[in-house]
Structure 1
Amino acid sequence: MKRAEARLVEALNGVAAETALVLGSGLGVLVDEVENPVRVPYGDLPGFPQSGVTGHAGEVVAGYLAGAPVVMLSGRAHYYEHGNAAAMRPALEILSGIGIKKLILTNAAGSLEPAMGPGSVMLIEDHINFSGTNPLFGEPSDRRFVGLTEAYDPAIRAALVKAAADTGTDLHKGVYMWFSGPSFETPAEIRMARVMGATAVGMSTVPEVILARFLGLRAAACSVITNLAAGMTGGELSHQETKDMAPLGGKRLAGILKSAFANGLATV
């Protein structure tokens, strides 16, 4: 782990960030907003995940967003790839080890609200873990009993809400429900999710938020809506649709994040 931290610090070449972003499927468009980018392939960093999902570049990109230092993980490992809910733990531990204090996660998600269609951005206020697993299974210490009452940091969320207002961007708010994947949800599961209070569904983010809180990192997350959920349109869902639609909402999310960083998100 220390070797990976040293390698990353060396590669970052003086970029000293306290905020990191994790980019979901098709959201590499955010990387294009980084000034003076430094890129490090995950393969060069022992312990970093090797995502096998198209739409995930698999590299660390560091530089400046609206003049503020930032580290981005372009791509993540998912539980459904190898059955490991803690697949992102080594990467997050390395980020914590190099001084990261805040983690902002992004994902592509399906909407349960007809008014929140493809291209929309949703700020996650809370989550439902419907996967049947937890990234802290097997953790031997009592640190595993992580409180999640405010899993999504109120101050970071407030900064993102203000940034959306400043840029005139609609920012929906809601509850994200984590399904294990890789198959998409059924219409019956979507009806159940709606009754349980979910606003959007997806296959990531929740384990990373749990790990972030376990590591003492402040966390926030946004979903880019790529489709209406199963049974809402009559059509079949596909990963290609996710990749095709993510950049539309990704551009809106990039505008929100740039405004937030320009107005001091890094110091919130």
Structure 2
Amino acid sequence: MLTQFKESVDYIKSRTNVQPTIGIILGTGLGGLVKEIEIIDEIEYKDIPNFPVSTVESHKGKLIFGNLGGKQVVAMQGRFHYYEGYNMKQVTFPVRVMKLLGIQRLFVSNASGGVNPDFEVGEIMIQDDHINMFPEHPLLGKNFDELGPRFPDMSEPYDRKMIEMAKGIAAENNIKVSVGTYLGLTGPTLETPAEYKYVRVIGADAVGMSTVPEVIVARHMSIPCFAISIITDLGVPGKIKEVSLQDVIDVANRQEPKMTLIMRELITRI
């Protein structure tokens, strides 16, 4: 795997001179942050050796290199999911590559279902913790000692300083945000009412199909992480409705400018 990481990195470095310090992973319907980036180079996933290719219709499948908030960044316009048939090492492969490209912080966005009864559709939730319910762990197998320890600490999966800064940015701009715990499941089905109830009972505020694997791998490599969710549907008794992918995208698109503002300002200030 280390050889594969390095092959990917060598190819990317042959295509761009950008040296990113910030890595960004954009979720479903949340690709608008790319519009804020002063784009220097774009590389399609299919051209990068060993890279998976996103199969989700709303994910474009490109690495974007450029400037944002006075920082050089690399953004994944489209991510990989376990439900696409990839194993967890493939799902998290880009995070390893971004680390070897030089990123020092990782920013992640996602669309998720809210199970906190105080949430509304369109709620913006800053993640301060997560629950890993995926059946495969991304650190299973041989440990890459060059990248991180065998038993990484996860007492602070999401960086407390960045969370406080993001809350301050939201308050300055009159943006309502919540802070909560995200639970990761495989999908691709959305949850049944009983499953939503279970997710809430074990301590989550929101549930989705991504983010957790990427953050685990980033923290394995000591990369501070910031993650933000847009609640696109509710798994709360009495508020559960049939939801399509387009419904998720529509809600995400409506709230995306607020999320983009928070992330752009946070990247600028760190």
TM-score by length of 2: 0.90
Task: Single out whichever of 22-31 and 133-142 deviates more from structure 2.
Answer: 133-142
Q: How far 1:31 moved relative to its partner?
A: 1.0
| Structure 1 counterpart of 2:159, from 139, 150, 153 | 153
Q: How far 1:93 moved relative to its partner?
A: 1.5
Q: How far 1:3 moved relative to its partner?
A: 3.2
1:39 and 2:42 matched? yes
Alignment of 1:38-187 (within 5 A): 38-140=41-143, 143-187=149-193
Task: Single out whichever of 153-162 and 95-104 deviates more from structure 2.
Answer: 153-162
Q: Deviations over 1:195-228 (max 9, x none)?
A: 1111000000001111111122221211111111
In the aligned structure 2, how far is the partner of 1:10 from the partner of 1:167? 40
- Alignment CA distance shift 1:169-1:135 (3 Å): same
- Alignment CA distance shift 1:79-1:232 (3 Å): farther
| Structure 2 counterpart of 1:258, from 247, 253, 264 | 264
Q: How far 1:230 moved relative to its partner?
A: 6.6
Question: Are the counterparts in 1 of residues 116 and 236 from structure 2 also a CA contact under 8 Å?
Answer: no
Deviation >6 Å, runs of 4+: none
- Alignment CA distance shift 1:179-1:230 (3 Å): farther
In the aligned structure 1, how far is the partner of 2:143 from the partner of 2:96? 17
Question: Are the counterparts in 2 of residues 49 and 76 from structure 1 also a CA contact under 8 Å?
Answer: no
| Structure 1 counterpart of 2:13, from 4, 9, 19 | 9
Q: How far 1:117 moved relative to its partner?
A: 2.1
- In structure 1, list runs of 5 or more residues that go unmatched: none
Q: Deviations over 1:135-181 (max 9, x none)?
A: 11223467332211111111222222222222221121000011111
Residue identity opposite 1:95 in structure 2: M
Q: How far 1:234 moved relative to its partner?
A: 4.2
TM-score by length of 1: 0.91
Question: Are the counterparts in 2 of residues 163 and 257 from structure 1 also a CA contact under 8 Å?
Answer: no
Q: How far 1:119 moved relative to its partner?
A: 2.2
Report the count of equivalent residues: 263
In the aligned structure 2, how far is the partner of 1:176 from the partner of 1:93? 22
- Alignment CA distance shift 1:9-1:155 (3 Å): farther
Indicate the RMSD between aligned Cα atoms, in angstroms: 1.9
In the aligned structure 2, how far is the partner of 1:120 from the partner of 1:37? 33
Residue identity opposite 1:11 in structure 2: R
In the aligned structure 1, how far is the partner of 2:85 from the partner of 2:155? 29
In the aligned structure 2, how far is the partner of 1:118 from the partner of 1:87? 32
Question: Are the counterparts in 2 of residues 185 and 230 from structure 1 also a CA contact under 8 Å?
Answer: no
